Structure 1
Amino acid sequence: MEENTLKLLVKLTQEGQLSSLEERISSGGSAAVQTIRSKHFGRSGDTLLHYAARQGHLDIVQYLIKRVGMDVETYNNDYKRPLHEAASMSHLACVSYLLQEGAKVDSLKKADWTPLMMACTRRNLNVIQELLHHGADPALRNKDGWNSFHIACREGDPLVVQHLLLVTLDVWRTESKTRRTPLHTAAMHGCEEIVRILLERCGYTPDCADSCGVTPFMDAVRNGHLSVARLLLEKHQASPQATDMLGTQPVHQVAVTGQEEALWFLVRDLNVDVNQKATDMQLTALHYAAKEGHTSTIKTLLELGADLYVRDKKGRTALHMACIGQHADVARILLQLGLKDSEDASGTTARQLAKKPDIVRVFQCGVPDTS
């Protein structure tokens, strides 16, 4: 078949024009039918059956399987089957038909994602129930160690999460390859109702930590999800002063992400020491904010009582960290606030760490008089 004809067939399939598609294929005779059965298109390697399933055109899916004779288990370059496509786009009728025609319910695409995992990226309980009814295993894990429950907790649909807990009671007892639990996932994405369900129905230990030492409370607060953070404090006895593998506490982590409301919450509401040093390099929240270039966060920290002149384990001030990060605006503000350039423990000044032209100019031009 000519290339233009093949492109037209893809277009007709995507648009759901069954009669025109059937007419074009029939006019090419048995040779055209044979070509369509095995033809993969583009860089993705999709077949017409993939296109039809993705768009939810059940009549075309039926035609391609019954009349053209396409294999229900045909796969593209990512090993995605038509069932993956239909499940990922919440096309219930196509999912049901493909399963009826013998599609393997737990087939794996690239990275070991099953159709149920794909379905859990959407908030369509009916599709998920259909896959489960045909034997889909919610406990199967992909290459990162996530199962369908992890994915559902990330998406945040309470009905889906509750149903998965109903059909597989222990599905919550899972960790990714980096030891992250579904509670971490829900907290990180600010899914408050899911966090509430997990705390009520599952047996997670307070401050359960992943392989980096990060707790669900840390995930919530450093991403600015304060309602979730409060819930973890009230219902799960989370610690606002737990430390990760690098010795950083939530106060340091929110300085890194620039979450200023979270800083107020930690320091003013929970009485966390704004000058608390991370146990690894003795960095404070001010050091972290300066290194990341968060000028507004630095002002907030100082308002909360941060020590402008504090030094880390290597004798570096926040000005050194600003220069390490090559943040001219931060260096300018710190100098304006009265922080003088000085040597660290190795005899290196902040100015010597400045490499980019704009931050070099900060030191060359001097500090403007703001009095």
Structure 2
Amino acid sequence: MSTEQTRQVVEKYFSSLENGDLDSALALLSPDIEFDLPRDEWNRVIPYLGVHHGVDEVRQAFAVRAETTEVLDYAMRGLRADGDTAIATIYTRAAHTRTRQEFEILDAHEMVVDDTGRIVRWKVYFDPNGEIAAFTSDANGRLIAAAWNGDHATVSEVLDFGADVNHRDPASGLTALMIAAGRADAPMTDLLVGRGADVFTADSGAGATALHKACQGGSLDVVRTLVEAGAFVDAVAPTTGHTPLMDALWFKFPEVAKYLLDAGAGLNLSTHYGFSLKEHFAYELNVNTIGKDRLLLAEKYLNARIASDEEQVATQKLMAAVSAGEVDSVRALIADGAEIDEVFPIVNGFNDGHTPLLVASRDGHTEIARLLLSAGADVNATEPTFGAVPLHKAVYNGHVELTTMIAAWPGVNLDFQGATNGYTPLHDALWHGYEECARAVIEAGARLDLVGHDGKTPLDLAVEVFGDDHPLTGAIRAKS
């Protein structure tokens, strides 16, 4: 095939397409045509991309394109041929048929013509970003609509195509996960959590989390998925003060309430309108006439949890001895095989979720802490309120001897950053002005470069608390 013949075939092909004569264009293709519109993970939103073999597959690709794309302008911008191969440059302006967003593409088409004057190979080189943007401009809206409609397939599809899994419904302020949770849609919840949906964020109307919505929807499977994904069982809505447990009781889902009770939900929290949880529940018992049997079952679970908490407190003799500072009792209990790292129940008190070592460290019981550590207590145990470890507790309260001992204990994490403010034990020591505690953790090898949630390093706090000219500030600066 000569260069001129190749040029003529390709020119005729694109002229036919420009004139809307698809049949004439396809007649110039070899029955064995290989048409390659490169497809990868980044452009898979465009449905007609891929390798197509034979005229029928090419025709089908054009049909799919016509369903999704309205061509507004189409023209050849350049054509060069060399032997049996031609390179054509094609300009297209189009709009997606659903989103109506326009885009422009300048493609390079490499085409090989055989001796019969038919195109046997056709490969397109293009930048798909504009087209992808047009195809996906409504992805977030489709995600929210699909979540409301329980359309799992569409949710999965639009997430594949770049929808923001945490996009909010403009009307309700809910994310797709909150919608699925409220609708008690367990498969949808699993899908969204698996795709990275935020289980911690709150809605923009009431400040409720997906777990609150799940407790309103009543699906135990949804609640379990969210809790196992890390959702806070005691998240408080800033408008009502409701926790998920309060909502589970209010909406009369006793098995959901039992699950949260078993997960350690707090019982001594109050609403923002003045009711304690127990008063809130008593009010519900009083005003409900339908579904009271479910409320009574929830009351049974609630009372069982109260009794369990009371029993745990009564049987935790080691914790009682540590709290009282009774060294001999602690020694005897350890010798008798007491559980060293027993965890105090959640009763909305000062010891909630604490191990004996955390309490000893907080309260300054140095000898008791030594006994506990020697017996194998976890030196890095974390309590749930502030996300602090024993070393935080010691420095926070200025216990110098205790700080020095814990900081030198094998396996201690000197640089643990608390969940509340990102402060390390060194940050806490400086923040509270305990110079000797700060020096103890520095000498033990604490890092000086870690940054709290307020953006402050230990040096920043030293300057702020002790002053720029203080010897401790100078020592930190010299080591930084």
Q: TM-score, normalised by structure 2?
A: 0.34
Q: TM-score, normalised by structure 1?
A: 0.43
Higher share in strand = 2
Higher share in helix = 1
Between structure 1 and structure 2, the one with the greater Rg is: 2
